[in-house]
Amino acid sequence: MGAIYILWLRELKRYVRSRVQIIVSLGQPCLYLLALGFGLGPVFKEAGRGSYLQFMAPGVVGMTVLFSSVFSGIAMLWDRQFGFLKETLVAPVSRMQIMVGRTLGGATVAVMQGALVLVVCLIAGFRPHSWLAIPTAFLFVVLIAVVFAALGTTIGSVLEDMQGFQLIMNFLVMPIFFLSGALFPLEGLGNVMKWITRFDPLTYGVDGLRGALIRSWAFHAAVDVAVLCGLALVFLSTGAYLFRKIEV
């Protein structure tokens, strides 16, 4: 457990010290809220769907958590380059503990950024159906962060090139975001799109956030939690296995 705590604390300190990262992380969510939340608001309202800002704000929070948690895997490449990863791997701790510690560190950073973006959404005019729903929403924020931090760390463990990681992440992250229902309703989709969204992990995270905050569910809350917990276990186990393949 000590190794998990040390790795978690290291990732947290790295984020807190980077004030530029904290500020820059708000740029893209603010752009989505401004360009889409207010730009497409009248169209969404004329279609009888109500406020588009209310609809998309949970999706923007999910997007922020997704991007932050997945790209936390980049830190592994830096650690590999500067030798810290080698020092970690030769320590007398299991690879699973290393994987869990790095994942929890990246997930904690993603949760913090998600909280900041939620505050921005509230300032922009978003209102949850009840303030008591926010703790429930953060359960889904944590689950999203753990799932995708584990995925990013897993991919980062098998790559040695920074450019290769960025290409793979861009190939995965943007489709995961745009096909999750963060920007459009899942009701009324064609059969092909319906099944594609069902296989998108972020779909269940965004649905949980949206359901908790504005009571708009596409699935059941238990389904969202079960899928996210199952994926977290799968990615953590896969990451621990791939860690064993890393040569020190």
Q: Which of 110, 3, 1 is nearest to 61 (CA)?
A: 110
CA 179/CA 200 separation, integer angstroms: 7
Side-chain half-sphere CA neighbours of 176 within 13 A:
22
Q: How far is C-alpha 159 from the geometric centre of its chain's CA atoms? A: 20
Widest distance between CA atoms in the chain:
62
Per-residue pLDDT at 175 exceeds 80: yes
Per-residue pLDDT at 211 exceeds 70: yes
Number of compact structural domains in the chain: 1
- In order of 24, 25, 72, 81, 180, the CA distances from 77 in angstroms are 21, 20, 10, 6, 28
Predicted confidence (pLDDT) per residue in 48-59, tens digit: 667 788 888 899
pLDDT higher for 48 or 158?
A: 158
So what's the pLDDT on residue 88?
Answer: 65
pLDDT higher for 38 or 198?
A: 198
Question: In terms of residue numbers, what domain contains 143?
Answer: 2-244
Mean pLDDT of the residues in the chain:
80
Residue type at 245 in one-letter notation: K
Q: Which of 72, 65, 67 is nearest to 156 (CA)?
A: 72
Q: Which pTM does this prediction carry?
A: 0.86
So what's the pLDDT on residue 99?
Answer: 74
Mean pLDDT check: name the lowest of 61-65, 83-87, 224-228: 83-87
The set of long-range contacts for 7-14, using a CB threshold of 8 Å and a minimum separation of 24, is 7/88, 7/98, 7/101, 7/102, 7/104, 7/105, 8/101, 8/104, 8/105, 8/108, 9/105, 10/105, 11/72, 11/75, 11/102, 11/104, 11/105, 11/106, 11/108, 11/109, 12/105, 12/108, 12/109, 14/75
- φ/ψ bin of 184: left (φ > 0), alpha (ψ from -120 to 50), beta (otherwise): beta
pLDDT (average), residues 140-153: 90
Q: Which of 168, 240, 175 is nearest to 202 (CA)?
A: 175
